[in-house]
Amino acid sequence: MSEGPSGQPPRDASPSAPLAGIRVLDIATFIAAPFCGTILGDFGAEVIKVEQPVVGDPLRRFGTPTECGDSLVWLSESRNKKSVTLDLRTPRGADLFRALVAQSDVVVENFRPGTLEKWGIGFEDLRAINPRLVMLRISAYGQTGPMKDEPGFARIAHAFSGLSTLAGEADGPPVVPGSTSMADYCSGMWGAIGILLALRVRERTGRGQFIDLGLYESVFRLLDEIAPAYARHGYVRERMGADTVNVCPHSHYETATGSWIAIACTSDKMWARLAEVMGRPELATSPHYVTTAARLERRSEVNGIVADWVRTLTKEQVLAACSAGGVPCGPLNTIADIFEDPHFKARGNMVEFDDPRIGKVVLPAAVPRLSETPAELRFTGRPMGADNEDILGGLLGVSSEEIAAIARPAKGSAI
């Protein structure tokens, strides 16, 4: 295997990896569909990242920059992917892409609907070349519907799906629900599930298919009973801050030292345990608090009781008391806390990797954890076009001279 600009070739997956032998073409940008490729690559698929010459994927410049010119987001989320540069808008670039499709299993993309069809490389075009092809198509609103042509990012998906209106204090404005990229990552996970399902069907039928996924759908599907509750009772859930709609106490509480902890009493049994831990066992039998329904009627009062108790103790004391009493409780960690947490360390949730361009880098470990064939971090995000010779030359037989030519932007092509 030829060496790219990083100074070393990417290491192939183990033959025993779950997805060994599956070739994925990632022609998407930013996070949503590319994260699907990351998941597949973590578990052994050969993922080939196809980027526009010269400019590459905008994700390279998204997030915290590094001395190698690519961002930390790129090094992490483009791991286990080889990099090839092709301008899919040109006839030669599209032809070479079709040649790759003929030898691949999966394509992942997140262009606006109709874009690939305009270039002659839509799903029906590609299926004519490779009937076994599985194609993931992620867009803001999906491939159909009155909004299918509208642009969108994760923030818009959070808003449109109904999530953003739930985030924030009851008397305050809606806020970012945790991460501005959550819908992207959720869509990547749903996309990976869809691809695995489609590959399973292909085993039986020999025929591929495409997966149609809107960013907003990935979030909307996670909003528990919000749809059936509205359909049945006309209930419109509003912002509740740290509280939860159907159980109490189930919130965040400040300790004596100013740090915060989370307590989750999801049943009357858990409430009884917490009452015992707080030294007030009578609360578990009082008609005002004994049932979830009763506690919900007195939500502020119940939260006040718990908050008053937590406020007298340090974080460590609250955690120890709840642990001893069997009450679900945990700290509100910052990333600094996480780096010092012994459980994160014991589980190997972060991996230190020696990147050939910037040295030591810490990345989140792959999920989920398989007992016999675990995921493997083989290399971080590659330099742009690092594997042109290997893929275009070795796989397609393109000459070194043409590889150098197609790595440059075509005349008249907008960058």
Q: Where a domain ends, among 339, 357, 386?
A: 339
DSSP state of 170: T
**Which helix or strand (DSSP H or E) is residue 298 part of?**
none
Cβ count near 194 (within 10 Å): 20
pLDDT of residue 412: 52
Beta carbons of 75 and 355 less than 8 angstroms apart: yes
Beta carbons of 363 and 377 less than 8 angstroms apart: yes
| 105 flagged as catalytic | no
The verdict on 330 and 367 lying in the same domain is: no
* 414, pLDDT greater than 50: no
The verdict on 111 and 27 lying in the same domain is: yes
134 within some domain: yes
Q: Is the pTM of this model over 0.85?
A: yes
Q: Where a domain ends, among 339, 365, 387?
A: 339
The verdict on 366 and 277 lying in the same domain is: no
191 within some domain: yes
> Maximum distance among all alpha carbons in the chain?
83
Beta carbons of 77 and 381 less than 8 angstroms apart: yes
Tens digit of each residue's pLDDT (9 = 90 or more) over 121-135? 999 999 999 999 999
- Measured at the CA of 29, the angle between CA 20 and CA 107, to 5 degrees, comes to 40
Cα-Cα-Cα-Cα dihedral sign, residues 362, 180, 134, 192: positive
238 within some domain: no
The verdict on 79 and 111 lying in the same domain is: yes
* 415, pLDDT greater than 50: no
Beta carbons of 85 and 53 less than 8 angstroms apart: yes
pLDDT of residue 4: 37
Q: What is the CATH number of the domain that holds 395?
A: 3.40.50.10540
Cβ count near 266 (within 10 Å): 14
384 within some domain: yes
**pLDDT band (50, 70, 90) for residue 11:** confident
Q: How many domains does the chain have?
A: 2
Query: Which three-class secondary structure state does DSSP give residue 273?
Result: helix
The verdict on 37 and 149 lying in the same domain is: yes
Active site residue: 42, 57, 70, 184, which one? 184
Kindly tell me the burial class for residue 125, based on how many C-beta atoms sit within 10 Å of its own C-beta (0-12, 13-18, 19 or more): middle
Helix crossing, 315-325 with 268-277: angle to 10°? 130
DSSP state of 358: T
pLDDT of residue 406: 85
Query: Range of 326's domain?
Result: 250-339
15 within some domain: no
The verdict on 88 and 157 lying in the same domain is: yes
138 within some domain: yes
**pLDDT band (50, 70, 90) for residue 410:** low
* 188, pLDDT greater than 70: yes
pLDDT of residue 8: 65
The verdict on 148 and 100 lying in the same domain is: yes
Q: Where a domain ends, among 287, 305, 339?
A: 339
401 within some domain: yes
The verdict on 176 and 299 lying in the same domain is: no
**Which helix or strand (DSSP H or E) is residue 155 part of?**
helix 154-161
28 within some domain: yes
Q: What is the CATH number of the domain that holds 299?
A: 3.30.1540.10
263 bridge partner residues: 251, 329
The verdict on 61 and 188 lying in the same domain is: yes
The verdict on 150 and 195 lying in the same domain is: yes
The verdict on 186 and 50 lying in the same domain is: yes
The verdict on 167 and 37 lying in the same domain is: yes
Amino acid at 319: L
Mean pLDDT of the chain: 95
